[in-house]
Structure 1
Amino acid sequence: MSKLRFGVVGSGAIADFTCKAISRAHSACLSSVASRRFSQAKEFAHKQQIPNIYKDWESLLEAQDSDAIYVASPTTSREEICLAALANHKHLLCEKPFLNAASIDKIAARAQSEGLAFMDATHFTHHPRTAKIIQQQKQHLGPVNRIHSAFFVSMMDRNNIRFDSHKEPTGAIGDIGWYNMRAIFEYMRPTGAIKTISGAIKRDSQTGTIISGAGLIEFASGQTSTFEFGYDSGVWQMDLDILGESGLIQLDDFVLDWRDSAAFYNPEYTPEFVVRRGQASPDKFEHQQVPIEQSQAVQMIEDFCRLTSPDNQVERIQAIERARATQSLIDQYCQAVGVAV
Structure 2
Amino acid sequence: MSTIHSSSSDKPEGADISRRGFVGVTATGLVATALSNPGVAQAAEEAADKNGVIRWGFVGTGSIANAMAKTLRQAPSGQLVASSSRTLEKAEAFAKKHGASKVFDSWQEMIESDEIDAVYVATPTSVREEICVAAANAGKHVLGEKPFASLPSVKRITAACRKNEVAFMDGTHFSHHPRTTSLRSKLDTTVGERRRVESVFQFNIRDASNIRMQPKLEPMGAIGDAGWYNMRAIVEYIDSDATLDEASAYLRRGAETGAVIGATGVVAFTDGSISTWSCGFDAGAGRADLRIDGDVGNVDLEGFIRQDKDGSGSYRYRSQKKGEKRVDEVIRVESSLPGSALMFEDFAAQVHDASLREQWSQKSERTQMLLDAVWESAIQNEKS
Q: CA deviation at 1:195?
A: 2.2
Match for residue 308 of structure 1 among 351, 361, 366: 351
Match for residue 253 of structure 1 among 300, 303, 312: 303
The match for 1:167 is: 217
The match for 1:276 is: 318
What is the CA RMSD across the aligned residues, in angstroms? 1.7
The match for 1:29 is: 79
Q: CA deviation at 1:338?
A: 1.2
1:294 aligns with 2:344: no
Contact in 1 for aligned 2:167/2:354 (Cα 8 Å): no
Q: CA deviation at 1:296?
A: 0.8
TM-score, with structure 2 as normaliser: 0.82
Contact in 1 for aligned 2:317/2:327 (Cα 8 Å): no
Match for residue 65 of structure 2 among 11, 15, 33: 15
Q: Distance in 2 between matches of 1:139 and 1:192?
A: 18
The match for 1:212 is: 262
The match for 1:154 is: 204
1:73 aligns with 2:123: yes
Contact in 2 for aligned 1:33/1:45 (Cα 8 Å): yes
The match for 1:126 is: 176
Q: CA deviation at 1:159?
A: 1.3
Q: Which 4+ runs in 1 deviate beyond 4 A?
A: none
Contact in 2 for aligned 1:190/1:223 (Cα 8 Å): no
Amino acid at match of 1:142: G
- Secondary structure of the residue aligned to 2:265 is strand
Q: Distance in 2 between matches of 1:32 and 1:39?
A: 14
- Secondary structure of the residue aligned to 1:337 is helix
Amino acid at match of 2:160: R
- Secondary structure of the residue aligned to 2:190 is helix
Match for residue 373 of structure 2 among 314, 332, 337: 332
Q: CA deviation at 1:52?
A: 0.6
Q: Distance in 2 between matches of 1:292 and 1:307?
A: 20
Contact in 2 for aligned 1:184/1:190 (Cα 8 Å): no
Q: Distance in 2 between matches of 1:255 and 1:199?
A: 22
- Secondary structure of the residue aligned to 2:130 is helix
Q: Distance in 1 between matches of 2:164 and 2:195?
A: 39
Deviations for 1:99-137, whole angstroms, at most 9, x for unmatched residues? 101011111111111111011010000000001111221
Q: Distance in 2 between matches of 1:233 and 1:99?
A: 25
- Secondary structure of the residue aligned to 1:307 is helix
Q: How has the CA–CA distance of structure 1 residues 284 and 192 changed in structure 2, closer, same or farther, with 3 Å as cutoff?
A: closer
Deviations for 1:162-203, whole angstroms, at most 9, x for unmatched residues? 111111111011100000000001011353432222121010
The match for 2:93 is: 43
Contact in 2 for aligned 1:173/1:213 (Cα 8 Å): yes
Deviations for 1:71-120, whole angstroms, at most 9, x for unmatched residues? 00100000000011011110001100011010111111111111110110
The match for 2:43 is: none
Amino acid at match of 1:182: R
Match for residue 244 of structure 1 among 266, 270, 294: 294
TM-score, with structure 1 as normaliser: 0.93
Q: Distance in 2 between matches of 1:191 and 1:294?
A: 31
Q: Distance in 2 between matches of 1:89 and 1:270?
A: 35
Which protein shows a greater Rg? 2
Matches within 5 A, 1:213-232: 213-232=263-282
Q: Which has the higher contact order (CA 8 A, sep 6+)?
A: 2
Q: Distance in 2 between matches of 1:216 and 1:312?
A: 35
Q: CA deviation at 1:9?
A: 0.1
Q: Distance in 2 between matches of 1:87 and 1:41?
A: 23
Worse-matched range after superposition: 75-84 or 194-203:
194-203
The match for 1:262 is: none
Unpaired runs of at least 5, structure 1? 260-265
Q: Distance in 1 between matches of 2:211 and 2:246?
A: 32
Q: How has the CA–CA distance of structure 1 residues 113 and 223 changed in structure 2, closer, same or farther, with 3 Å as cutoff?
A: same
Q: Distance in 1 between matches of 2:289 and 2:77?
A: 32
Q: CA deviation at 1:13?
A: 1.0
Contact in 2 for aligned 1:191/1:220 (Cα 8 Å): no
Amino acid at match of 1:222: G
Contact in 1 for aligned 2:320/2:327 (Cα 8 Å): no
Deviations for 1:201-242, whole angstroms, at most 9, x for unmatched residues? 010011000000000111111110000001101211011000
Contact in 2 for aligned 1:191/1:219 (Cα 8 Å): no
Contact in 1 for aligned 2:140/2:166 (Cα 8 Å): yes
